[in-house]
Structure 1
Amino acid sequence: MKAFSAAAGPKLMLDPGSVLDIGSCWIGGVDLAPGRAIPDDGDPRIDHSLEGFLFTCGPDHIRHPEPIEKHADGKKYPLHGSFSSHPAEIVFWDAQEEGAECRARVPVTMANGGTALLERHWRIDGATGEVSLADKLTNTGTKAFAPVHMYHMNIGAWLFDDHVKLTGRMLGGGGFPWNFGEDPGGVFCVPAKEAGEQWAQVALGPIAAIGGLTLKVKFRTDTLPHLQIWRNQQAPAHVLGIEPVSHRWVSRYELAEKGELHQLKPGRSIDYALRFCFV
């Protein structure tokens, strides 16, 4: 892990061994990452990624395994896609009090044998503490594939009390308590794109364990038009996830039937972006 921070904002531990995702996210002396308080889905790649504050799903699959199209042997996409465990090549790194910035290249081999390149750009504004992530995915293979993408932002829910709420325009009634639904947890996915707006925002807080700060997450809605939220308090899990996502929470078959799995041709690219801050 490599420490990444500026004068303001969180101290992030970036993981060069897995897509340069975020491991720990420190606010003062508190790490918001869930660590081992996560469900075990039987895939060590994903166990490692889920322990952290942010990991990236895709580029060929998101969510749970489903059969790879046109594979007669029944082979499935891996849990949450092929990104996890691909090492990042850091090509620029400058972390100072007035601001921090790094860039990395992540060549990816996908489950169907195709290849892609993720170009990742992290920044922290030293004045406001806002963290920005910009991702560019390019098809470097010889065949088109359907790009799918999801950011998992996972927070240890033992940090929450009864005053913590989720708020956002896309949520029913504008928001509700973090422990929504029935115990021990659940998941939902809603449209996040508002007419005329390029970014959506969801907030979680106030979190007394970090001095009453609220986590605000913004994401680009042209390529991440949905928001998925999940929580799991089935021991030993104790986690809540904020997940901007490219596609609805339905099967790949249904997405394809509805014409929602658009193809990325060889040499073409697609961009995703996310921002977050604690205020």
Structure 2
Amino acid sequence: MELYGRKWTRRELEARVGRLEQIGGIKRVLGAEGAETGVELIQVRTGAGLSYIVSPTKGLDISLAEFGGSPISWQSPNGDAHPSAYDGEGSGWLRTASGGLLMTCGLSNVGSPSSLQGRTYGMHGRVHHLSASHVCAEGRWDEDHYTMNIRGQVDETSIFGSHLRMYREVRSRLGQNTIEIIDTLENAGYQSAPHMMLYHFNFGFPLLDERTVMQFPSERVNARDKGTPAEGYDIWESPENGYRERVYYHELPQGKDSVHAELYQPAFPVALGTVPLRVRLTWSSKTLPRLVQWKMAGEREHVLGIEPSNCGVEGIAAEQNKGTLTVLQPGGRVRYQLRLDLSSGTAEGSSDL
């Protein structure tokens, strides 16, 4: 593997440390204060600058993510609030949503609270507030490469209702500033089930400031709300009091499987100064054919959401009425795969840390 500017074998690295976690690896901790009491957190350190926290208590979503000791994600004022405080009615989701690098939205509803066929669905669905089972967090050598894997199962169920099951794997390698997310979603029930899925990636300061360059894989961009200016979606501003959220729909190019969005910060702060930092999110448009952008440049709520999805954000009834609602048949499966890459330095892929 490559680390600290040179290549190493497993034996060469292990000879220099008492245990590998001196360099990087996985560490499990438990929240012990306030709303975070009892929340399980798993910290992953790649040894190359990237570190992040996965929470099995909150659907194996990703909380704080950092590069070189500085955050790239936005944290909500709720913190990593325990799901026991979750209010699934209406927009109660907002009281316990953690922010962080990733909040998964779904599995049955995304966006606005909605109702369909006599059932009510709260904002953004339940999955961000469902605890995972069969959780495994392991680091292991494969010859001279060390891989860190977190795996688990999240079930969204209801008596007389649907049963959607998500198998999630989050993995990184020592020496690489990359996160891979592989989700397999299945209908484990015995009746057809609506399925909406949105990956709510949240980027924040200091990755975002007035110098940040944003690039999207869009052929056309449309504002969701009337009165929202179509221009300015790719420009970031300083915090503004009273800023009203802006939501944009990006039309992705046809015929392309892999697409990506990118953020570039020319002066990202690290311990001994600044480095240019490029953050690239890549996904398959075959399974996630839509891209939602949430621009919220307000005070405190100062966050950019880049959100690959299989749906819009008006809720399940609107999706049904448009004829675009995904329905999984019993035993049906769909696989989602996303990848986040960080690179620092003047050349893409180089690292100054």
Is 1:188 matched with 2:232? Answer: no
Indicate the residue corresponding to 2:261 in structure 1.
202
Larger radius of gyration: 2
> 1:237 is matched with which residue: 301, 317, 324?
301
> What is the TM-score with the length of structure 2 in the denominator?
0.69
In 2: Cα distance, 1:158 partner to 1:191 partner: 28
Match of 2:133 among 85, 89, 106: 89
Q: Is the 8 A contact 1:9 1:124 kept in 2?
A: no
How far has the Cα of 1:158 moved from its partner?
5.5
Distance 1:233 1:177, change over 3 A: closer
Q: Letter of the aligned partner of 1:188 in structure 2? A: Y
Q: Work out the CA distance in 2 between the residues paired with 1:240 and 1:187.
A: 10
Asked whether the equivalents of residues 168 and 182 of structure 2 are also in contact (C-alpha less than 8 Å), the reply is: yes
Give, in angstroms, the shift of residue 184 of structure 1: 4.2
Deviations 1:35-78 (CA, angstroms, capped at 9, x unpaired): 2358xx985654433422101001101111011x210xxx5211
Aligned to 1:143: 191
- Higher RCO, 1 or 2 (CA under 8 Å, sep at least 6)? 1
Distance 1:157 1:112, change over 3 A: farther
Shift of 1:168: 2.5
Pairing 1:163-182 to 2, within 5 Å after superposition: 163-170=211-218, 176-179=234-237
Q: Secondary structure at the match of 1:160?
A: coil
> Are the equivalent residues in 2 in contact too, given 1:46–1:84 (CA < 8 A)?
no
Q: Tell me what 1:70 maps to.
A: 117
Give the CA deviation at 1:263: 1.6
Match in the other structure for 2:328: 264
Alignment check: 8 A CA contact 1:37 1:156 kept: no
**Equivalent in 96, 106, 109 of residue 48 of structure 1:** 96
From 203, 219, 234, the equivalent of 1:155 is 203
Which amino acid letter does the alignment assign opposite residue 77 of structure 1?
Y
Q: 1:59 to 1:251 in 2, by over 3 A?
A: closer
Cα–Cα, structure 1 residues 139 and 193, in superposed 2: closer, same or farther, change >3 Å?
farther
Structure 1: stretches of 5+ with no match in the other structure: none
**Maintained 8 Å contact 2:109/2:315:** no
Residues 1:218 and 2:282 aligned together: yes
**C-alpha separation in 2, matches of 1:95 and 1:209:** 29
Q: Relative to structure 1, is the Cα distance of residues 112 and 165 closer, same or farther in structure 2, using a 3 angstrom cutoff?
A: farther
Distance 2:160 2:53 in 1: 31
Q: CA deviation digits over 1:215-247, x for unaligned, max 9?
A: 100011111111111121333311111111111
Q: Which residue of 2 aligns with 1:134?
A: 182
Q: Choose the corresponding residue for 1:116, options 130, 141, 164.
A: 164
Query: 2:290–2:309: 8 Å Cα contact kept in structure 1?
Result: yes
Q: SS state of the match for residue 96, structure 2?
A: helix
Contact 1:142–1:266, Cα closer than 8 Å, also in 2: yes
What does residue 79 of structure 1 align with? 123
Q: What is the Cα deviation at residue 266 of structure 1?
A: 1.5
Is the 8 Å Cα contact of residues 161 and 208 (structure 1) preserved in structure 2?
Answer: no
Cα distance in 1 between the residues matched to 2:219 and 2:267: 23
Q: Is the 8 A contact 1:165 1:176 kept in 2?
A: yes
Matched residue count: 270
For the aligned residue pairs, the C-alpha RMSD in angstroms reads 2.8
Identity of aligned residues (%): 24
Contact preservation (8 Å) 2:112, 2:314 = no
